[in-house]
Structures are given as C-alpha cells and as structure tokens.
Chains A and B, each alone.
Chain A
Amino acid sequence: MALILVDGKEIAVKQGETVLQACMREGIEIPYFCYHPSLSIVGQCRMCLVKVEGAPKLLTACTTTVPELPREKKLDGRYDMKVSVACDEAREAQRGIMEFLLANHPLDCPVCDQAGECRLQEYSYDYGAPRSEFVFEKLHAPKRVVLGPHIIYDAERCIKCTRCVRFCQEITKTSELSLVERGADTIVGTFEGGSLDNPYSVCTADLCPVGALTYREFRFRERVWFLQAHNSVCPECSRNCSVRVDSYKGEVLRIVPRYNPSVNGYYMCDHGRLITERMRGLETRELPSLIRDGKPSPMNEKDFYARLVALFSEKKYRPGDVAVILSGRMSLEEMAAYKRLSKELFGAVIGDVLLRSGESDDLLVRDEKRPNLEGARKLGLPVSGKDEAVSSLIGGKKALLIIREDPVGEAPQEERERLDTAIGSVETVVVMDDHLTATAARAHYFVPLAGWFEMEGTTVNFKGQLQKTTRCVAPPEGRKPFHDVTAEFLKAAGKEAPSGFREWFEEVKKEIPVLGLVKAGEIPLKGIPLPERKEKHG
C-alpha cells in the first residue's frame, strides 16, 4: 500500500492500482477517453496527463502505478508520489489535447447521435480551450462506414482511443477491428470483406466515448436528452443482464447494459438489445377476446372474466383434465398469483413451466432462454424436461391454459402439425400473452397481458440473483400483468385477492422466506443474491 498526495488530498494506493484508478475511487476527476476498467490499459488518448513531482514531463495517470519508496526516500517523509491534476501545467496539457482531438473533428454535434452523452462534448466544456488555433482546412475521412450489421462508423468523429479494437480483441476475442493507416490518416477498420458481426458488437457503440461508432437501430431516432431511463432486466436468457431501458413517448427506443458485477459486468449481447426491433409490428391487443376460427372479437373485460369463471365452475374440470403451460417469462409475482389461481380453479397447483433452451457462449449468453426459470424452481413450480414435446403435455386433456408461451409459433415444422391436432381436440383453450401469437389464434379465449417492459416484477437469474424490473412504458389501457388478471378472476369468483405488484411481492416472500424484511420498493439496483436452492433427492 503506497500513499500519494493529489492536490493536497492523501490517497492510499493499492498494489498495482494506477493513479487514475485511485483518483476515481476517491472522487477526484481526471478526464480520460481510452481507459475502461474492463479493458487493457494503453495510454492512447493522452487526456489524463497529470503532473508528478520529480518526473521530467507530464505522465498519463492511467498508466502510472505507484512504487512504494523506502522510508528515507519518501516525499515530505510520508508520500510515495505527489501528483497534481489541477495545476496549470496539467490543465494546459488537457486543453492542448482537446485542441488536437478537435482539430480535424467535424464538430457536427447538432446532428450527432452521441450529443448529450459524449465525452468529447463534456470535456470540451470542462477542459477545452475557448477557441482553436487551428485555422487550416480540416482533414476528411470516411463517413457512414458500415462496419457491421448494427454498427456505423464515422472516422471523422473518431479519436482513435481503441476501446472498440480492444473490446473485440480482449472481450469477444474475435479481433475484427484494428487501427489502419497512420498518423492523421489513422482510422478504425476491418480486414477487406470483414464485418464487425460478433454477438456483442453493439457494446462497441456503448464503449465509444464519442459519436464515431453508432448503433444502427437507434441512429437518428431520438435526441438522447429526451429519453427517459428505467432500470430493468433483459428477458432473453437466464443471465438476466441488468439493463437500462430508454423510452420516449411510451415507446422503448433503446436498451443498454447497466453495470452489475454480480450479473453481467459492463456488457450485454446484441440479441437482448434487439428486443426493441422484434417488438415492433407485433399484433398487440388491448381487450380480452373470444376467438372463433382464428379471428378475435373483443369483449368487455368484466363480462369476459365472469364468463370464464362461469365456464370453469360449470365444467368442474379436475386437475387431471387440465393442461397448463406456464412460462419462465412470468415474474415471480405472476407465478405466485398463478399458484393461488390454480388452487382456486382446480383445487391443486398443476402445470409445467416450459424449458426453452438454445445456444450459449462463455461470455454472457446462457442456454436457458427464459429469464425466470430459476424463479419457477424457487417457487416449486415444475419445469418441463429438455426434450419434452409440448403436444405430449396436451394430449387427452379437456382444458388448456397457456400463459406467456407460444408453443405453436416456436414449434419446429414436424412438431407443428401434431401440436395443431392436439390443441384442436381440446374443449377449452385459454391463451394469455402480450401479443396475439400463433398459439393464441388457435385458442377460444385470449387474455392480453402487459409486456415485459410494461410492468413491475421480480426475477431470479441462473445464479440466484433476484432483480426487479420496472414499468418502463405504460401498457395500453386494459393490458395487465398476469397477477392483476388473476385478481380479476378471483374477484369475479367472489374471492379476496392481493392487488398490484407490491401486494403480490408479499405473497412471493411467503415462499422465499430469506427475502424476509425486504420491501418491494427497496430492492437494490444490483439485486439480491438468494441462497442456493436445495435439490430434492430421491
């Protein structure tokens, strides 16, 4: 442990820690572009120049570590290094670097997507020179370069910090990018015919401190200062990456990773971000509907639930007559609500949560493609087997309830026919989902539910981390989370029911006692680790 003095403040520096890291930890601001905690340190941008007493010239704080001096050599008998960030020399250097970086920069902030979240802009305000001495014509470089399916590159805005290059070399290990050419002509490029197409490519746009790399799907969609940020969780696999969802006027425009060391670190996969694109154009419905010959006819909510309750009480389905397909896309509250409903309707908790699996990698993507399968296990709901065909769950049943799954739409061709026949032979089919799926078109009753980003809920990831997702956009009037639908059902049947996320979270707590004193409104942003589930043996 070494001790440094930074502009009059004493900071203890850990072995191997750099001056930049120590200062950041202690809240002393040193400007930087190229440094990133998850990437190698290169001292590329020169923005973090600081004065170190005894050094012949300014040093980059990001590369400077502090050797511990022998007692008799300590400065002022106490310090291993004396650093100044705020001295005139350092300020002058920062101004100079800013001037160099902006010499050939197009200064096109009014049309730049990064404007509002751009380090170059921020530092220009905080550290830049009021005017440039550079009076010559700016160099021009390639613009609108399609680096990959989701990334566009503007070489004129690029400051060559190499964060994107290092990300592809060190994190994804795909090495698509490199600096090419030299000096003022340097740009970021791929090999001829190469493409920045790894499954995490959009992280390079997040890492880019300026507007050089932009995310194609978000480009020119909205000025960032109009966006409303919401903390949520990505529902695309059992990793449950912490994300920030940016919305504007009730539409989710962008999903970016939110740093969470116990879940996803700094990154998320492109597939997760592209939810926004997949959501567009889905047929979403606001009212519960009766479906005849694949065509939905909307119905008044109250009458609809009364009719369903009457149906179930009249038919008196026994647990053996009913197949229920649940989803790992349901929040813990929705699962707890389902358990209550099942007991009410069928006298027992029946049903299977579908296991949906697919490709995985050793970075973030998990093989289980549902966010809350672990939550289902925690609540004691059975999860179907890997190779279990959905049609085998349905065969011979009189009633079928499917919540947040689309087995028909997702069935491979050869299974589809069997599934169609199986569903066709069921007397009563109820499907609840956030859009009108292929399965819903084969149902008799369709109940619209709020979508993932339209409701509050908690999930448990594969490691047992419980996180909360917030309501990022309002669902259209009439679309509710499943737990609120349950409440409608129970009310229509003349029963008491909890209402809203908070009350249903209390129900969840009854089943996961370790949550004990946690209040629904007080779940930390990084989540709560739940103890490992005890496997039942025998």
Chain B
Amino acid sequence: MSRDIRELLADKEFQRKMEKLAGLYPEERSALLAALHLCESETGCCGEEFQEYIAGKLGIPRASVKGVVTFYEMFHEKPRGKYLVQVCRTLPCMLAGAEILLDHICGKLGIRPGGTTKDGKFTLVTVECLACCDRGPSLMINDTLYTGITPEGFDKVIKELD
C-alpha cells in the first residue's frame, strides 16, 4: 500500500505486470487506467514520477496522463494517509445530510477536505457520486463503503480502525 515509487519501478515483478497490461489492449495507451490502478494500489498515489514513466511507456503526452490522474477521484497525485475517507458531495447525499457529516468529520479529524492528519492516518476528501444515492449520506474508507452513516456512526467506524 505504501511502497516507494522508485523501488516499485525497479521491481522486476512490477515491470512484468506492466508489460502484460500493455499487451492486453489493441492500443497500448488503453492500458493507462489499469496501470494507474496498479500504481495507486502499490504506492498509494500516482505522483509525477509515475506519470512521467507511464507516459513514456505508453506513448501518451505526460500532460494527458496528468489530466487522467486528476480527473478520476480514485487516483491521487500526492501520497495520502493510511485511511482515505471519501465523502460523497453529490446532491442526493448532500440533501440526506452529507454536509453535516462532513463538518463533523472535519472537526473530529481536525483537517479540511484534501488534508491529511499529522499522524498520517487519515486523508479526507470529498468525491463525486458513489452511486448509493438511495442510501445517503455515503462515504468510503479505502475500499469499504458505508451508507446512511451518521456522525455517531462515523465515530464508531474509525474507533475500530487501528
């Protein structure tokens, strides 16, 4: 989850995976999303170094790679905390109380959206629709989805995280 990017790029196993990915698509550039997912899961972010590497590898302008990384909520340019708290900021969740929830989380963790706690445990972000509009407010902590969550519910959830 938080390997060093240089170590990752030097890793033979990783390089083999990249080769395989590139070969999976009729056009190499289509492997971009899969490659970004791989890097994100291994290192926790897709920083400049990886963007430049993958741009060269797949023959895509590096500015375009940056465009893709910054477009999608699930990719991050900067390293994030151990737990990524993603609060849905789309209309139905907001109507269901996401705003109150977000205020509470900010107060609880002592950070603003986009920030990381000093101990590096939590990063808080707001994200576009998590596709659970009928059960809002929803949030995700890393890959786990929580719906219909109240401020108290949030406190309980993070208490159980190490």
* Most chain B CB inside 10 Å of its own CB: which residue of A176, A180, A181, A190: A180
Among B48, B64, B73, the residue within 8 A (CB) of A178 is B64
**Which residue of chain B lies nearest to A190 when distances are taken between CB atoms in the complex?**
B63
Given A169-B61, A189-B63, list of 7 further CB < 8 A pairs?
A178-B67, A182-B73, A183-B128, A191-B51, A191-B62, A191-B63, A194-B62
Chain B residue contacts of A176, Cβ below 8 A: 61, 63
Q: How many residues of B contact A (CB 8 A)?
A: 15
Chain B interface mostly helix, strand, loop or mixed? helix
CA distance A175 to B62 in the complex (A): 8
Q: How far is the CB of A488 from chain B (nearest CB, A)?
A: 57
Chain B residue contacts of A178, Cβ below 8 A: 61, 63-64, 66-67
Residue interface mask B61-77, A partner, CB < 8 A = 1: 11111110011110000
Q: State whether A177 touches B70 (Cβ < 8 A).
A: no
CA distance A190 to B71 in the complex (A): 14
Chain B residue contacts of A191, Cβ below 8 A: 48, 51-52, 62-63, 65-66
CA distance A180 to B51 in the complex (A): 13
Sampled A-B contacts (20; CB under 8 Å): A169-B61, A175-B63, A175-B64, A177-B63, A178-B64, A179-B71, A180-B66, A180-B70, A181-B70, A182-B71, A182-B73, A183-B128, A189-B66, A190-B63, A191-B48, A191-B51, A191-B63, A191-B65, A192-B66, A194-B63
Instruction: List chain B positions with a Cβ less than 8 A from chain A.
Output: 48, 51-52, 61-67, 70-73, 128
Chain B residue contacts of A180, Cβ below 8 A: 66-67, 70-71
**Which residue of chain A lies nearest to B68 when distances are taken between CB atoms in the complex?**
A178
* Most chain A CB inside 10 Å of its own CB: which residue of B61, B63, B73: B63
Q: How many residues of A contact B (CB 8 A)?
A: 15
Residue interface mask A167-208, B partner, CB < 8 A = 1: 001000001111111110000011110100000000000000
CA distance A194 to B72 in the complex (A): 21
Chain B residue contacts of A192, Cβ below 8 A: 48, 66
Q: How far is the CB of A171 from chain B (nearest CB, A)?
A: 14
Q: How far is the CB of B126 from chain A (nearest CB, A)?
A: 11
Knowing A191-B48, A191-B51, A192-B48 touch, does A179 contact B61 (C-beta < 8 A)?
no
